Structure 1
Amino acid sequence: MPVPLDAELQVAYDAYMAEEPELAPMSLAMLPQIRAEVDAEVAALGDLSRGGRFTVSQPSVPGPDGDPQIPLLVCTPADAPASRPVLYYMHGGGFFCNDHRTGLDQVLETAEQFGATLISIGYRLAPEHPYPAQINDAYTGLLWTAEHADELGIDPDRIIVTGPSAGGGLSAALALTVRDKGGPRLLGQLLMCPMLDDRNNSASAMQMDGIEFWNRSYNGFGWSSLLGGVPGGADVPQYAAPARATDLTGLPPAFLDVGSAECLRDEILAYASRIWQAGGKTELHVWPGGIHAFDREAPEARISKAAVAARHNWLERLLATD
Structure 2
Amino acid sequence: MFRILLMSLLAMFAGPLCAADHAHPIQVHKDIPWAQTAAKTLTMDIYTPQSDGGRLPVVVMVHGGGWLINDNHIMDSAARYLAEHGNFVVANLNYRLLGDNHNRTTMNEIVEDVFGGVLWVKEHIDDYGGDPTEVGITGDSAGGHLSAMVLTAGRRLSSQGFRNEPRGFKPTYLPAGKTAEQVAAEDGLAVQAAVLSYGAFDLYSEAQHGFESPDNIFWKLGGVSARGLFGDGITAQANPDYYRAVSPLYLIPARSDDQLPPTLAFVGSEDKTIPPAAVKQFVDKMRAAGQPITFKIYPGKNHAFLDSGCNKYLGNCFAKDAPDTLDDMIAFFDQHLR
Instruction: Decide: shared fold, TM above 0.5.
Output: yes
Which structure 1 residue ranges, 5 or more long, are not aligned? 1-24, 28-33, 206-215
Which of residues 296, 299, 313 is equivalent to 1:288?
299
Do 1:224 and 1:230's aligned partners in 2 also have CA atoms closer than 8 Å?
no
Relative contact order higher in (CA < 8 Å, ≥ 6 apart): 2
Aligned residue number for residue 12 of structure 2: 37
Whole-Å separation in 1 of the counterparts to 2:75 and 2:322? 15
- Between Structure 1 and Structure 2, which shows a larger proportion of helix residues? 1
Whole-Å separation in 2 of the counterparts to 1:308 and 1:126? 29
Which of residues 98, 108, 121 is equivalent to 2:70?
98
Aligned residue number for residue 51 of structure 2: 79
Count of matched residue pairs: 269
Which of residues 84, 99, 121 is equivalent to 1:112?
84
Aligned residue number for residue 35 of structure 2: 62
Which structure 2 residue ranges, 5 or more long, are not aligned? 157-183, 210-214, 308-315
Do 2:115 and 2:189's aligned partners in 1 also have CA atoms closer than 8 Å?
no
Report SS of the residue matched to 1:73: strand
Q: What is the CA distance between 1:190 and its match in structure 2?
A: 0.8
Do 1:258 and 1:287's aligned partners in 2 also have CA atoms closer than 8 Å?
yes
Whole-Å separation in 2 of the counterparts to 1:152 and 1:281? 30
1:242 aligns with 2:251: no
**In the TM superposition, what are the counterparts of 1:1-322 in structure 2 within 5 Å?**
37=12, 53-63=26-36, 68-79=40-51, 81-127=53-99, 128=103, 129-180=105-156, 181=184, 182-198=187-203, 199-200=205-206, 217=216, 226-228=229-231, 234-245=240-251, 247=253, 249=255, 250-263=259-272, 264=274, 265-296=276-307, 297-301=316-320, 304-320=322-338
Sequence identity (%) = 22
Do 2:28 and 2:45's aligned partners in 1 also have CA atoms closer than 8 Å?
no
Q: What is the CA distance between 1:185 and its match in structure 2?
A: 3.0
One-letter identity of the residue aligned with 2:12: E
Query: For the structure 1 residues 219 and 35, does the alpha-carbon distance in structure 2 shift closer, same or farther, using more than 3 Å as the test?
Result: closer
Report SS of the residue matched to 2:96: coil
Mean CA deviation greater in 311-320 or 183-192 = 311-320
Give the TM-score of the pair, scaled to structure 2: 0.67
Whole-Å separation in 1 of the counterparts to 2:333 and 2:32? 27
Q: What is the CA distance between 1:35 and its match in structure 2?
A: 10
Give the TM-score of the pair, scaled to structure 1: 0.70
Do 1:243 and 1:271's aligned partners in 2 also have CA atoms closer than 8 Å?
yes
Do 2:287 and 2:293's aligned partners in 1 also have CA atoms closer than 8 Å?
yes
Aligned residue number for residue 30 of structure 1: none
